[in-house]
Structure 1
Amino acid sequence: MNTSYDVKFFEISRNKSSKTPSHVVRWSVARKRSSKTYRTKALAESFLSDLRQAAKRGEAFDIETGFPQSMIKAKDARTILEFVTAFIEMKWPHAAAKTRDGMSDALATVLPSLTKERPGRPDAETLRTALRKHLLLPESKRPAAPPEMAQAVRWLRSASLDLAALNDAKTVRLALDALALRLDGKAAAPNTIARKRAVFHAVLEYAVELEELDANPLHKVKWKPPKVTETVDPRVAVNPRQAQELLTMVTYVGGRGRGRRLMALFACMYYAALRPAEAVGLRLQDCHLPLKGWGRLTVDVSRPEVNTKWTDSGNAHEERGLKHRGRDDVRPVPIPPELVKILRQHIDEYGTGEDGRLFRSERGGVIASTAYTEVWQDARQLAFTPAQVASPLARRPYDLRHAAVSLWLNAGVSAPDVAERAGHSVDVLLRVYAKCLDGHKDVANKRIDDALAA
């Protein structure tokens, strides 16, 4: 293959010579021009984006075909498994660690269903392990497979259906039915099904882009997924008195003063509605903490936790930008005097890390979710009655954020202001927290009574 890194891209143009609307992607490799025509502008833009990403990550382009190496690998794929592994290679460099984990989780659910009947089929758990720990990683990151896993890998490669089988609606339905179930055979949660279906849909769209499939076969299958619940359950939101009781009890649990070290972390989730990953990444330089009055947090970093095999650094926490925002975006969050006081006391007692981080483990590392979740569950046992402990009330630390946003909305703070503080769009905010708005039914009932009495 004769390759080059001299790649130039041109604007997408409308194909005026065709009777039916279409759009042309044009680019050149070593001054040799290439083009592809798509029926819709969206498909053309998606293909051009893939080309640009390949160039950004330093891939060589084949001069003859004009395609980057990752696309050639996908176009050369003969089985579904080969195509999926090429898809993973293409997506990996620009995907967040959580996204990589989600892709692997979804495809490890789907791929075992897209296989032929072959003798020696490993059990479901072994197949999933072989996919998650080997095949659904880029080749450069795959560890040496132990004998049992190596056998499962060989079976998956030999049994994988041909890529063309995805044109058959029955094949696609097998995949959909698989992602609707957990490994134990029970029904998966609606949100899980929707997330996994979205990954499978993206794989099929990539096959359409590369003209390996004429159209996305998911659109031909009449398969209705369970309804996804987007709204927050109002039962999880604590009131201010309960929140204060929980924060107090946190300081009494955990060995070696662990709970006391974490109280301010939980306070940021409640008083500032920070996501746990945002609170974990908070630094001194992000905080304006005056002696009197309201302060401000300038949030620009998130440290989501994920298995080390999905990160580039090999660390369990990968520094990322804010959720739903650009990498360099920041979110200013005004904080009440109560939180200002808590943070000042925390800094006086524990100081900060070399990078300015406020919250660290006893050894100075990034706080693991298992550590603060364990403390949280112990605090619930002390702060709540047995009935409340068994209820959804503040079951997870994340529910403190839900309680904060619910409090702000019910206090009459405008939706745009709440959305800005919480890092949501207004429409998402009102949709997600619709059930947490109190008192509006009483107002509506009063207005109806007045109208009936008129």
Structure 2
Amino acid sequence: MFHHALEYVVELEELSANPLDRVKLRRTKTTGEIDRRAVVNRDQARELLTAVTYCGRSRGPMLAAMFARMRFGGIRPAEAAGLRGKDCHLPKNGWRLLTPEKTAPQSKRRFTDSGKAHDERGLKHRDQKVTRPVPIPPGLVAILRDHIDRYGVGDDGRLFRTRTGGVIFGSAYAMVWKEARTYALTPDQVASPLAARPYDLRHAAVSLWLNAGVHAPEAAERAGHGVDVMLRVYAKCIDGQREVANQRIMDALAG
């Protein structure tokens, strides 16, 4: 509005030119870095996953394994929605493997090929029919085995679905997560960015891998990221690296 007002003043010949035309606006560059305030620690994650099971008569318990999959396997919500029994290699003991192949991202119906709210697609950043092997720890193996024992799989093989067999909407699991946060976190934490979205469980998983010293290429492969993107996005969620770097520099100077 102010720019148009100055244009009018120029038309009246009160000004020779619009001074705003000489102002160059610089947009703030965004790096995509994760807000470390959103990343839960191990105890907070455990409390949140427990709290999910207290949300509703059946919805929370049915989704508990889906949230656990994000936390321990770093899976994206859309990948969890598309996970099928055939994607899971779950013998009882030791580390096992998931090989997700499909996602079920949610979109407006007019933007999908099928006219439904969810269309099956390949994994993000990968060609169609290309899987991503994801090793999972024994604790998650037990959770997924229990989920399948209790709820089975859908007609199309999906692990996570509504009671009528439909694809779970993002608003449904976001509502469960919102309720779980009120059970597991303090009022100040609920008002903060801490684990504000289910997606933040994935951020917690990748941050834990990097903090544990997992090599960046391996962590990136498990997360489905490029190495450069992962290190840029999670740069501020890698705790303790300054102290490690300082010690290595001191050792080098002493040598």
TM-score of the superposed pair, with normalisation by structure 2: 0.87
Alignment of 1:21-170 (within 5 A): none
Deviations 1:131-187 (A, max 9, x none): xxxxxxxxxxxxxxxxxxxxxxxxxxxxxxxxxxxxxxxxxxx9xxxxxxxxxxxxx
The whole-number CA distance in structure 2 between the counterparts of 1:453 and 1:386 is 49
Give the structure 2 partner of residue 310 of structure 1.
Answer: 111
1:238 to 37, 40, 48: 40
Secondary structure at the aligned position of 1:396 is classed as coil
1:290 matched to 2:91? The reply is yes
Deviations 1:364-383 (A, max 9, x none): 10001011000001001000
1:229 matched to 2:53? The reply is no
Worse-matched range after superposition: 319-328 or 442-451: 442-451
Give the structure 2 partner of residue 417 of structure 1.
Answer: 218
User: How many angstroms does 1:240 deviate by?
Assistant: 1.6
Q: Name the aligned partner's letter for residue 274 of structure 1.
A: I
Deviations 1:374-415 (A, max 9, x none): 000100100011111111111000000000000001111111
Give the structure 1 partner of residue 147 of structure 2.
Answer: 346
Alignment of 1:387-398 (within 5 A): 387-398=188-199
User: How many angstroms does 1:289 deviate by?
Assistant: 0.3
With over 3 angstroms needed to count, the CA separation of the structure-2 counterparts of 1:451 and 1:426, relative to structure 1, is closer
Give the structure 1 partner of residue 245 of structure 2.
Answer: 444
Alignment of 1:314-333 (within 5 A): 314-333=115-134
Give the root-mean-square deviation of aligned CA atoms. 2.1
Identity in percent: 63
Secondary structure at the aligned position of 1:378 is classed as helix
User: How many angstroms does 1:444 deviate by?
Assistant: 2.5
Deviations 1:59-118 (A, max 9, x none): xxxxxxxxxxxxxxxxxxxxxxxxxxxxxxxxxxxxxxxxxxxxxxxxxxxxxxxxxxxx
The whole-number CA distance in structure 2 between the counterparts of 1:392 and 1:223 is 30
Cα contact 2:182–2:190 (8 A) shared by 1: yes
1:356 to 143, 157, 167: 157
Secondary structure at the aligned position of 2:26 is classed as coil
1:386 matched to 2:198? The reply is no
With over 3 angstroms needed to count, the CA separation of the structure-2 counterparts of 1:438 and 1:351, relative to structure 1, is same
Q: Greater Rg, structure 1 or structure 2? A: 1
Q: Name the aligned partner's letter for residue 210 of structure 2.
A: L
TM-score of the superposed pair, with normalisation by structure 1: 0.50
1:335 to 136, 140, 148: 136
Give the structure 2 partner of residue 259 of structure 1.
Answer: 60
1:249 to 51, 59, 63: 51
The whole-number CA distance in structure 2 between the counterparts of 1:335 and 1:273 is 10
The whole-number CA distance in structure 2 between the counterparts of 1:453 and 1:300 is 51
Q: Name the aligned partner's letter for residue 226 of structure 1.
A: T
User: How many angstroms does 1:222 deviate by?
Assistant: 5.9
The whole-number CA distance in structure 1 between the counterparts of 2:188 and 2:123 is 36
Asked which structure has the greater RCO (Cα within 8 Å, sep 6+), the reply is: 2
User: How many angstroms does 1:426 deviate by?
Assistant: 0.7
User: How many angstroms does 1:228 deviate by?
Assistant: 1.1
The whole-number CA distance in structure 2 between the counterparts of 1:453 and 1:421 is 38
Give the structure 2 partner of residue 22 of structure 1.
Answer: none
With over 3 angstroms needed to count, the CA separation of the structure-2 counterparts of 1:327 and 1:379, relative to structure 1, is same
